[in-house]
A = this chain, B = another copy of it.
Amino acid sequence: MNPAASPSDPACPLCGPAPAGLLWEDARLRVIHVDDSPFPGYIRIIWRRHVAEMTDLSPAQRGNLMQAIYQVEALQRQILQPDKINLASLGNQVPHLHWHLIPRWHADPCFPDAIWAPNRHDPVQQAAWQRQAHALTTQRVPLLRKAITDAFEGV
């Protein structure tokens, strides 16, 4: 792996060293657990090269990236049993190709809106969600993190 061989932008935060929550990386992509999120098991997959859109990739590269997404989605569903999976490639704030893979629950703060919509919870709902999220984070998310690392390492 030689990241220096990839086009990169010194001003881009996703071109820098691996962030906290790194579960796996190779020369093509990084798989990150977003551990400061209120959504347990939120994973980000970041393409290593500094490109903005899926159609900036070759068909083989797109296939490789989507395969990683399906692998993580399958593990999120199996281990966390969320009510829905949300997939999104936005990149408006950081135009470096990356995907959000977000498990969603009926009781989460934004459901059924996108996670970028306002929080809908009143204090009682928020407290109940925090208990549910804490249980997921302590009991299930460690299993998800290990399963992702194992799957990508081919263990």
- Given A53-B73, A55-B73, verify A114-B85 contact (CB < 8 Å): no
Which residues of A (108-144) have their CB < 8 Å from a CB of B?
111-114, 116-118
Q: Is A29 an interface residue (CB 8 A)?
A: no
- Given A87-B54, A116-B117, A117-B116, verify A92-B70 contact (CB < 8 Å): no
Count, chain A residues at interface, CB 8 A: 31
How near does chain B come to A102, taking the closest CB pair, in angstroms?
A: 9
How near does chain B come to A132, taking the closest CB pair, in angstroms?
A: 17
Q: Give the residue among A62, A86, A88, A112 with the most B Cβ atoms within 10 A.
A: A88
Mind listing 7 A-B residue pairs with CB under 8 Å? A52-B84, A55-B85, A62-B66, A62-B70, A86-B88, A92-B114, A118-B118
